[in-house]
Structure 1
């Protein structure tokens, strides 16, 4: 067997414009926040409309991308959030962003294709930070790639979603915006995944901030009457 050369140069075919200016708060898997909007803008010479001919017939796409904000260094063991951030597994037994070559794979819904000036794809449910370089697009084939009988190791099911409530001030800030309804859905879906570090669970007084679109959404974990944790949006501030 002939091993390939050490260097395998790749050129991004485009970049993502998304609701997530920062890494913190991005859902850890695609599809968990369906209100998340994104556009994949193809770059020359890949922005030829001929390159996406027929793509409109598919509802979902695989995107191969680069975790460009993650460090280039990697370690053989990582700490998945689903295991509380303490237990270690091999990097290849995880979906960690800290991995060799920093490659990621995301399944997104294709909403629209615009070829009026180059090519841009409107996407739903993306888990990608703004500016993410995309290396490739492939149509999703459910008959070949959906395997409901598959084992899923330490993540056998979707994480439990936490309730989210909004203070009066937060509700007022949403009402004042033209995108208030979609923004409210986005905030609720993102916070329901509890973006806090995995070792921070339960109620606490600390206020966190997550960047969504052009806003800083500040929230804290509270306990309801039964002692269950919920996340409360206390303030929404324009950045």
Structure 2
């Protein structure tokens, strides 16, 4: 039996590097990583706009997409992840940030190529002074995220009801009931008087998902947390089996 030849690191006909150019960028309510839902569509109130960049801002490039309700977005984890590099073993939040698994068994951003994939709802195209954009909801994307490609979500091929969920099927989602203090109610009315931002629903859904790191049980005395949504700092407390929003104020970065 002839000896097995080792596989070369890079076949001679492969390029050493592959470069991609973003086709658009996301404008979302998530101005920092803390609080972003850990998967798309967990917070339907998380609305966003995907601004197309020239020369891809052409209506004809989207001809035929109007019959689809959801899209796949291929994007780049751009904040910190590119500089941090990849890790062969990661601690996914779904396992409480403790247990390690291989990076290719996870959706961690710390990958050899910091590329992510999200299925989001889309609500049509808009052409205005800012250019051509797509209206989206249920996003899990940081504001400013570069998008590499858009593909239609095709239910007959993409929805696999018999697929095995791996380690994710063994865990229960923890969700909080969310209440607002009287002061927070008044601040919310001032921050989103006409409901255009959908700020109440967004706060309820994001905090209700319990965005805290899984290792927070190491700090049982800490009960107050804050995150930024749109241009507002939202502060809340854990009280028994629910979360209580105590203030909604203009973010320091927006003042």
TM interval, shorter chain, is: over 0.9
Equivalent residue number for residue 230 of structure 1: 242
1:70-219 pair list within 5 angstroms: 70-72=80-82, 73-115=85-127, 118-156=131-169, 159-176=173-190, 177-180=192-195, 182-201=198-217, 204-219=221-236
Q: Contact 2:75/2:149 (CA < 8 Å) preserved in 1?
A: yes
Q: Distance in 2 between matches of 1:102 and 1:110?
A: 24
Unmatched 5+ stretches in structure 2: 1-10
Give the secondary-structure state (helix, strand or coil) at the position aligned to 1:185.
helix
Give yes or no for contact 2:49–2:135 (8 Å, CA) kept in 1: yes
* Kept after mapping to 1: 8 A contact 2:179/2:245: yes
Which among 9, 18, 38 is matched to residue 8 of structure 1?
Answer: 18
SS of equivalent residue, structure 1 residue 155: helix
1:179 Cα deviation (Å)? 4.5
Give the conservation status (yes or no) of the 8 Å contact 2:81–2:109: no
Within the candidate set 51, 61, 67, 1:57 is matched to 67
Contact 1:36 1:126 in 2 (8 A): yes
107-116 vs 33-42, which deviates more? Answer: 107-116
Residue number in structure 1 paired with 2:3: none
Does the 8 Å CA contact 1:203/1:222 hold for their aligned counterparts?
A: no
Pairs aligned (count):
234
- Return the index of the structure with the highest Cα Rg: 2
Q: Distance in 1 between matches of 2:189 and 2:250?
A: 14
Deviation at 1:95, TM superposition (A): 0.8
Contact 1:204 1:220 (8 Å CA) reproduced: no
TM-score by length of 1: 0.92
Structure 1: distance between partners of 2:47 and 2:90: 29
